[in-house]
Chains A and B, each alone.
Chain A
Amino acid sequence: MELDTVLMSRLLTAMTLGFHIIFATLGVGIPLLISIAEFIGIKKKDPHYRMLARRWARGFVISVAVGVVTGTAIGLQLSLVWPNFMQVAGNVISLPLFMEVFAFFFEAIFLGIYLYTWDRFKNQYIHWLFSLPIIIGGGFSAVFITMVNAFMNTPEGFAVEDGAFTAVNPLAAMLNPATPTKVFHVLSSAYLTCAAILAAITAFMILKKKTSDYYKKALKLTLTLTFIFAVVTAIAGDSSAKFLAEHQPEKLAAAEWHFETEEGADLILFGWLNDAHEAIGEIRIPNFLSFLAYGDFNAEVTGLEEVPEEEWPPLWVHYMFDLMVSIGFLLPAIALLYFFLSKLKKRNEHNKGMLSLIVLSGPLAMLGIEFGWIYAEEGRQPWIIRGYMTVEEAATSSPHIGLMFFLFLALYIVLGTLSIVTLRKIFKDNPAEEELEKQYPSVKKGDES
Chain B
Amino acid sequence: MMSYEIIGITVLWIFLYGYLIVASVDFGAGFFAYYAKVTKQDHIINQLISRYLSPVWEVTNVFFVFFFVGIVGFFPDSAYYYGSALLVPGSIAIILLAIRGSFYAFENYGSKQSIVYTFLYGATGLLIPASLSVALTLSEGGFIVEKNGVVSLQYQELFTSPLSWSVVGLSIVSVLFISAVFLTFYASRAKDYPALNLVRKFALFWSTPSIIAALTTFIFLSQHNERHYQNMLDLWWMFGLSVAFFMAATWLLYLGKNYGLAFISVMLQYFFAFFGYGIGHYPYILDPFIRIYDGATHPSMGIALVAAFIGGLLLLIPSLILLIKLFLFDAEYVKGKK
Using Cβ atoms and an 8 Å threshold, which residues of chain B touch A273?
none
A65 within 8 A of B: yes
Q: Are B88 and A400 in contact (CB under 8 A)?
A: yes
For A72, give its contact among B87, B98, B111 (CB under 8 Å): B98
Q: Are A106 and B79 in contact (CB under 8 A)?
A: no
Q: Are B111 and A430 in contact (CB under 8 A)?
A: yes
Bin the interface of chain B by size: 35 or more
Using Cβ atoms and an 8 Å threshold, which residues of chain B touch A73?
94, 97-98
Q: Are A113 and B76 in contact (CB under 8 A)?
A: no
Complex: A22 Cα to B109 Cα, angstroms? 20
For A94, give its contact among B92, B97, B297 (CB under 8 Å): B297
Complex: A61 Cα to B102 Cα, angstroms? 10
B90 within 8 A of A: yes
- Residue of B whose beta carbon sits closest to that of A23: B102
Q: Which of A35-43, A211-219, A250-258, A415-423 contacts B (4 or more CB under 8 A)?
A: A415-423
B219 within 8 A of A: no
Q: Are B105 and A79 in contact (CB under 8 A)?
A: no
Q: A65-B105, A72-B94, A91-B76 are in contact. Are A98 and B64 (CB under 8 A)?
A: no
Q: A65-B102, A101-B66, A102-B308 are in contact. Are A120 and B338 (CB under 8 A)?
A: yes
Using Cβ atoms and an 8 Å threshold, which residues of chain B touch A120?
338
Q: Are A76 and B94 in contact (CB under 8 A)?
A: yes
Give 1 or 0 for each of B313-332: 1 = CB within 8 Å of chain A CB.
00110011011001100000
Q: How far is the CB of A6 from chain B (nearest CB, A)?
A: 14
Query: CB within 8 Å of B: which of A271-321?
Result: none
Query: CB within 8 Å of B: which of A166-194?
Result: 166, 168-171
B104 within 8 A of A: yes
- Residue of B whose beta carbon sits closest to that of A12: B91
Q: How far is the CB of A333 from chain B (nearest CB, A)?
A: 36
B194 within 8 A of A: no
Q: Are B65 and A104 in contact (CB under 8 A)?
A: yes
Using Cβ atoms and an 8 Å threshold, which residues of chain B touch A154?
none
Q: A86-B79, A90-B79, A106-B316 are in contact. Are A70 and B68 (CB under 8 A)?
A: no
For B312, give its contact among A99, A112, A415 (CB under 8 Å): A99
Using Cβ atoms and an 8 Å threshold, which residues of chain A touch B305?
94-95, 98
Q: Are A69 and B97 in contact (CB under 8 A)?
A: yes
Give 1 or 0 for each of A81-109: 1 = CB within 8 Å of chain B CB.
11110111011101101111110111011
Give 1 or 0 for each of A382-407: 1 = CB within 8 Å of chain B CB.
00000000000000111011001001
- Residue of A whose beta carbon sits closest to that of B330: A120
Q: Are A102 and B73 in contact (CB under 8 A)?
A: no
Complex: A86 Cα to B102 Cα, angstroms? 28
Q: Which of B51-59, B195-203, B261-269 contacts A (4 or more CB under 8 A)?
A: B51-59
Chain B facing A: main interface SS:
helix
Of A58, A133, A426, most buried by chain B (CB within 10 Å of CB) is A426
For B76, give its contact among A62, A88, A415 (CB under 8 Å): A88
For A76, give its contact among B77, B84, B90, B105 (CB under 8 Å): B90
Using Cβ atoms and an 8 Å threshold, which residues of chain B touch A373?
none
Complex: A343 Cα to B84 Cα, angstroms? 62
Using Cβ atoms and an 8 Å threshold, which residues of chain B touch A109?
59, 316, 319-320, 322-323
Using Cβ atoms and an 8 Å threshold, which residues of chain A touch B93?
76
- Residue of B whose beta carbon sits closest to that of A83: B83
Complex: A79 Cα to B93 Cα, angstroms? 14
Q: Are B88 and A116 in contact (CB under 8 A)?
A: no
Q: How far is the CB of B234 from chain A (nearest CB, A)?
A: 33
Q: Are B102 and A170 in contact (CB under 8 A)?
A: no
Q: Give the A interface residue count (CB, 8 A).
A: 75
A80 within 8 A of B: yes
- Residue of A whose beta carbon sits closest to that of B70: A98
B156 within 8 A of A: no
Using Cβ atoms and an 8 Å threshold, which residues of chain A touch B76?
86-88, 90-91, 94
B136 within 8 A of A: no
Q: Are B59 and A105 in contact (CB under 8 A)?
A: yes
Complex: A170 Cα to B297 Cα, angstroms? 11
Complex: A309 Cα to B112 Cα, angstroms? 56
Q: Are B323 and A98 in contact (CB under 8 A)?
A: no
* Chain B residues within 8 Å of A, Cβ to Cβ: 54-56, 58-59, 61-62, 64-66, 68-70, 72-74, 76-77, 79-84, 86-88, 90-95, 97-106, 109-112, 149-152, 297-298, 300-301, 304-305, 308, 311-312, 315-316, 319-320, 322-323, 326-327, 338
Which 4 interchain pairs have the tightest Cβ spacing? A94-B73, A65-B105, A90-B76, A83-B83
Q: Could you show 9 A-B contacts with beta carbons less than 8 Å apart?
A: A64-B105, A69-B101, A72-B61, A73-B94, A80-B83, A86-B76, A87-B77, A104-B65, A116-B327
* Chain A residues within 8 Å of B, Cβ to Cβ: 58, 61-62, 64-66, 68-73, 75-84, 86-88, 90-92, 94-95, 97-102, 104-106, 108-113, 115-117, 120, 133, 165-166, 168-171, 396-398, 400-401, 404, 407-408, 411, 414-415, 418-419, 421-422, 425-426, 429-430
